[in-house]
Structure 1
Amino acid sequence: MRGSVARLAGVFALVLVAASSAFGQAVSTASIAGTIRDASGAMLPGVTVTATQTGTGLTRTAVSDATGGYLLTQLPVGPYRLEFTLQGFRTSVQQGIVLQVNTNPTINATLELGELAETIQVEANSPLIETRSPGIGMVVENERVLELPLNGRQTLDLIYLTGMAAPSGTLSGARGGQASAGSPGTIAVAGGLPNGTAYVLDGSTHNDPYNNAAMPFPFPEALQEFKVEASALAAQYGHHSAAVVNAVTKSGTNVVHGSGFEFLRDDSLNAVDPFAAIGADGRRRSDGLNRNQFGGSIGGPIARDRLFYFAAYQRTHVRRVPTSNFAFAPTMAMLSGDFRAFAAPECQGGRQVNLRPPFVNNQIDPALFSPASLKLTSLLGVKPDTACGQVFFDQVDDSDEDVFTTKIDYTVSGSHTVFGRLQFNKFDSPTNYDGKAAMSFTTSAFKNRVYAFALGDTKLFGNNIVNAFHATINRGNYGKEYVPLFDYSDLGVKATPVMTDYMRLSVTGGFSVMGPGALPTLTPTWTYQVADDLSVIRGRHQFGFGANYIQTKYDSTSFLAAAGNTTFTGQSTGLGLADFLLGRAASFSAGTLTGVHVQSRYIGLYAQDSWRVSPNVTLNAGLRWDPYMPVYSKGPVHALRSRSLQQGIEEHAVSECGRRARVSTRRGDARQLDRAQRSLERCAACRHCDRSEGSRD
């Protein structure tokens, strides 16, 4: 501990001597900077700059320095009005300025001689080009979030619009941007790790501690905008190395705004599936699809210019029964020992299969059949009526998802603002068991609950010091439940099942029951975060200092080994179904419950400086310290001793970034090439370290 404190003191001493780093603003806000001149082009010091957020009435002020420069930090995103006043000059007002998340536009002004009461109004749009940051990023603004078509209305898919993101496969246990089933594809940004992206929502961490993918994101009506940043990130960013996805939820304003929506898909509007099963009437069966997604949002004032609310809700209701699922089960001929029809080319993909000796003419004495296999055949719930034994069955595909987002913004005073945001996701999906065919049960029931709470507090100490504090509590409760059907004891097999009324079995070229997807699992997760960012403006320097503490925990319980597994591959007779009826298994396994109960702590400290060398040149430098803190366990770690687990993770982390150093340097400059702000030259170099979170990395 003393060594860590000493290293920390040494790092910050080095930082203070070097006057390092990039931007000290909270990641969910924006800043405005610029230079003020008179009509002759001379710099104007002492100009009062007032920024007013037109939606809420929030005001911030700054005074230009000796070189005419000014800087306003920690501004909430949204539309603004800028006013420039100086005795002896006409007041200049610029409207139509829209600040986007984590952007730093340069907005210059020119004041003309005249009375202070005279006002010149200019309709101005802040330049799209980033004129101060050395990093590369792109904002997906609210218009595109709302208007672009999205399959399933998953806002994370909009990351691909940034031009530097690509699908990167799946992660084990991935839950993607929704609290639903399946393993959706992860996103790699700028060639980085698929689980190396830091997701930030309203300035708070939004990564799933189980696999480092994103937790559920707000749906379009609840999301204001987001920005994807990569390459030379400021020292303020840590924890993950590839990129940062920085999102902001909507807030209420002085005007009540609301919306409502509904999206409907129904089988009556779809074409007939040419591969669907044929019903009793001789026609292709319908899957009965009904997908209804509806909801709305509302926001407004509770107390004008002081207290605002926003709330949004979305429900996704899906009912569907796909009918194109089939398998091959023992026919009456097979049960009587006759495999001639099943071994023929018509049932074996165009090739003739002959049972291996001692069996002759593709026939087996039924007396040799296993009583356990015959019992299981009677429990399958299907009766083949074709020579090949093909049977069709339904698999239910129903789900209900509810998403609720609410946010409260409170302007305590002109120098103090507070907000609180809560997002709740609920996903329920029953098993796909149709109630008849045992082989239809391949997916267990999902009962997922995700809570994400964020609290933010921004306090100004004069015009040049701003402090932003964030606290976060994220809770995920991911559970899967199975349907009790039968186990080995029901078949007369002398086995001691760890899971009652459940067993896994597969037959090559035939059928399978209760596969891995049908297993129950429990994966509760917790995330706690406390972060603080301090921005200090001194002359042409904007210093930033900050600390970030994150504690994560997950308890995973797996029934994969406990369920056991029996396979029949045809290695004995040449046909899987023949091996099955004879009871000649190719493999059998059984075990106990497994799981990992681990926690991790992360600490990140940084110092940074943005130095405005001239109106056109900004130099950035920074230093970040991320001490290595290994994953640890306070509960039982099945199959691995805790010490062995920690040593393995420690060795993995050392190979990535070094156990003790974990010091990231960031350097860069942004040079504006013309006064019209149409072109910019960037140059940067940095070192990033990624934080591993347990066994899923």
Structure 2
Amino acid sequence: MEMHQVSTEDLMNTAKQQLLLLSLLAGLGWAQSNSQGAIVGTTTDQSGAVLPGVQITATSVATGIQNETTTGPLGDYRFSFLAPGQYSVTATHEGFARQAVTANVGVGTIVRTDFKMQVGATSQEVIVTDTAVAINTEDSSKGDVIGSEAISHLPLNGREFLQLAALEPGAVSGNPKRGVHGSKGVDVSFNGARASFNSYYINGAANTDPLYNQMQSSPALDAVSEFRVMTNMYSAQYGRSGGAVVTIVTKQGENRFHGTAYEYHRNKALDGLPYFYSGQRNKLPLYLFNQYGGTIGGPIIKRKTFFFFSTEFFHQKKPGQQIVTFAPTDAERHGDVSQTINPFSGQPVVLTDPYTQQPIAGNVLPSSMITPVGQKLMDLWPSPNYNGDPFLNLHLFRGGLYTQKKYLGRVDHHFSDKDSITGTYDFNDYDNTSPGMNIWGDKTGVDHNRTWAGTWTHVFTPRLVNDFKTSYASFQSGSQFTLSDNGKNFCVTWGINATTNTLPGTCRLLMYTIGYQRYDIGNDGDFKHHNNSYYLKNNLVWVKSAHTLLFGGEFTRDM
């Protein structure tokens, strides 16, 4: 028997080779990036024998940009990293009639288009119009593409595209809310996972805030071309999601100019009266809703350079709700509590000197004991406006304001058959003002995002294609005082000691009465979260014989 000694180095090399093989196997059959798609197929003759050397051309219907390849020894072909859209795919070979078929490439999908060539002159053309229902046979991922038809025509209150993700099997969506911690007011969870377990991408850029795991940016609805929701068995390149992977692709310019303009408006003058309401229309709470914007896109250089731009604004005055609290009477504001009843005991108030603990004659505070700070607080406190309750004598009705600003710009440039690039700038501002008892207590929930993203696709050979993506995002969320006056500390200007509150805005002053009812001046302090995200991703597709291998890597830094 012959014995062989195995060194530690040999074992390490073997382990590395096995890990490399596993990483390659994880990418088999998924040779497209998260914002693009692919077309694959096989060509055969009428007997079913494979045909190598067939010229295959995929032409974008929208831009006219062509991609060319030839079938390999096994009659197979592949176009990787295609922009989503409609393509005219043709097959030509000497001695066979030219064939043409239309393929609709969705984001993150692989479309199979096979050709069965018929003998004839190349001047003859066979157009295939009857195609089978698209069933994913190329990989194990589960999910669907929400296309432009659904995005354009299904009614959406608030016009957030993510609401349509609820159409996906296994999705659960609650009522839209305008909180900071929802993904632009929409909470959608999948297959029992939490809504915060999803991950989001836009035009290939990372779009997930690491603090609450919410979607950072939401383009205007008219700017979204389509998006894909993958709920299970997705590729190894998606490593941070325990729920769904949502990939958004925005519209791009075409060879013809296109544009839209729109406005949605509501107010109480146009709304129907509530069924049980018998009062006058002008007595209804104020409600105003305006959402308007537009898009434009087209060629800078036909069949080469294209642009797309969208903008949207949203303005909603919320009716608010009644606030029940209390306020001092005119006499009490001047230190006279001789007619004041203690709400806890029901007995007349006994005013005592805080220094001597002795009763003050007549229950009238001497002017020498009224401080400028106390007088200022009395001036800030509204007068009673309700006589139906001797204690809870102040009823307020204050509404809030919700606004959005969205801008998106995209440029696509086709250098040659070898190189193409895409650049995107995405701007989102969401501001949701919640009313306090006064202007010093109003707080605004902020959700601001700026994303710069770029993609470079390089074709080494028709069977070796590389796709590189990079993005930078600046994301701010949290809450802050609506009335800040550029960092002004209002409590200091009222005479309150500066050490009480050192932050911009207003310190919180609470005045209590019966039943723990109170009147507040100010609010809790600011809460702000600012994250800078840096993202790099590279995918390399190599088609070798009957195998398609995907090599890739990803780098993310949040700070």
Query: Is 1:392 the equivalent of 2:399?
Result: no
* 3-state SS of paired residue (1:383): coil
**Counterparts of 2:133 and 2:86, CA distance in 1:** 14
TM-superposed deviation, 1:146: 1.3
In the TM superposition, what whole-angstrom CA distance separates every residue of 1:83-120 from its partner, at most 9, and x where no partner exists? Answer: 0111111111113x211101112222211111112111
Query: Is 1:127 the equivalent of 2:128?
Result: no
Query: Is 1:319 the equivalent of 2:317?
Result: yes
The structure-2 alpha-carbon separation of the partners of 1:392 and 1:8, relative to structure 1 and needing over 3 Å to count, comes to farther
**Counterparts of 1:73 and 1:394, CA distance in 2:** 59
* 3-state SS of paired residue (1:214): coil
**Of 292, 304, 307, the match for 2:305:** 307
**Of 413, 416, 421, the match for 1:413:** 416
The structure-2 alpha-carbon separation of the partners of 1:271 and 1:423, relative to structure 1 and needing over 3 Å to count, comes to same
- Equivalent position of 2:364 in the other structure: none
The structure-2 alpha-carbon separation of the partners of 1:287 and 1:515, relative to structure 1 and needing over 3 Å to count, comes to same
In the TM superposition, what whole-angstrom CA distance separates every residue of 1:228-286 from its partner, at most 9, and x where no partner exists? Answer: 0022111121122322101101100111111111111112012457999x9xxx98733
- Equivalent position of 1:14 in the other structure: 18
TM-superposed deviation, 1:79: 0.6
Aligned residue pairs, count: 514
TM-superposed deviation, 1:330: 4.8
**Counterparts of 2:521 and 2:82, CA distance in 1:** 55
Q: Which amino acid aligns with 1:443?
A: D
**Of 165, 170, 174, the match for 1:164:** 170
TM-superposed deviation, 1:209: 2.8
TM-superposed deviation, 1:170: 11
- Equivalent position of 2:535 in the other structure: 529
**Counterparts of 1:288 and 1:85, CA distance in 2:** 67
- Equivalent position of 1:633 in the other structure: none
> Relative CO higher for 1 or 2, CA cutoff 8 Å, sep ≥ 6?
1
- Equivalent position of 1:234 in the other structure: 235
Query: Is 1:510 the equivalent of 2:511?
Result: no
CA contact (8 A) 1:24 1:236 kept: no
The structure-2 alpha-carbon separation of the partners of 1:35 and 1:514, relative to structure 1 and needing over 3 Å to count, comes to farther
CA contact (8 A) 1:328 1:509 kept: no
**Of 270, 285, 288, the match for 1:287:** 285
Query: Is 1:34 the equivalent of 2:24?
Result: no
CA RMSD of aligned residues (A): 3.5
Unaligned segments of structure 2, at least 5 residues: 1-9, 355-369
TM-superposed deviation, 1:412: 0.6
CA contact (8 A) 1:154 1:177 kept: no
The structure-2 alpha-carbon separation of the partners of 1:78 and 1:170, relative to structure 1 and needing over 3 Å to count, comes to closer
Query: Is 1:138 the equivalent of 2:144?
Result: yes
In the TM superposition, what whole-angstrom CA distance separates every residue of 1:463-508 from its partner, at most 9, and x where no partner exists? Answer: 1011000110111244623547975996989983334742142644
TM-superposed deviation, 1:289: 2.1
The structure-2 alpha-carbon separation of the partners of 1:172 and 1:151, relative to structure 1 and needing over 3 Å to count, comes to closer
Q: How does 1:385-534 map to 2 (within 5 A)?
A: 385-388=386-389, 389-428=392-431, 432=435, 438=438, 442-445=441-444, 449-478=448-477, 480-483=480-483, 487=491, 496-499=500-503, 501-505=506-510, 507=512, 508-514=515-521, 519-534=525-540
In the TM superposition, what whole-angstrom CA distance separates every residue of 1:111-163 from its partner, at most 9, and x where no partner exists? Answer: 11111121111225573211111111011001111111111111111111112
* 3-state SS of paired residue (1:160): helix
**Counterparts of 1:172 and 1:154, CA distance in 2:** 12
CA contact (8 A) 2:465 2:542 kept: yes
**Counterparts of 1:386 and 1:365, CA distance in 2:** 20
In the TM superposition, what whole-angstrom CA distance separates every residue of 1:268-317 from its partner, at most 9, and x where no partner exists? Answer: 012457999x9xxx987333322111111111111111100111111112
Runs of 4+ aligned residues of structure 1 deviating over 6 Å after TM superposition are 6-11, 168-173, 273-276, 369-375, 491-495
Query: How much identity, in percent, do the aligned residues show?
Result: 22
CA contact (8 A) 2:273 2:281 kept: no
In the TM superposition, what whole-angstrom CA distance separates every residue of 1:150-199 from its partner, at most 9, and x where no partner exists? Answer: 11111111111112222479999844444xxxxx4532222223222110
Q: How does 1:291-690 map to 2 (within 5 A)?
A: 291-322=289-320, 324-330=321-327, 336-338=339-341, 355=344, 359=345, 362-367=346-351, 379-388=380-389, 389-428=392-431, 432=435, 438=438, 442-445=441-444, 449-478=448-477, 480-483=480-483, 487=491, 496-499=500-503, 501-505=506-510, 507=512, 508-514=515-521, 519-553=525-559
**Counterparts of 2:237 and 2:189, CA distance in 1:** 21
Q: Which amino acid aligns with 2:347?
A: Q
* 3-state SS of paired residue (1:496): coil
Q: Which amino acid aligns with 1:267?
A: K
- Equivalent position of 2:82 in the other structure: 75
- Equivalent position of 2:361 in the other structure: none
TM-superposed deviation, 1:408: 0.2
Deviates most, 481-490 or 108-117: 481-490
**Counterparts of 2:414 and 2:11, CA distance in 1:** 39
Q: TM-score, normalised by structure 2?
A: 0.82
CA contact (8 A) 2:507 2:522 kept: no
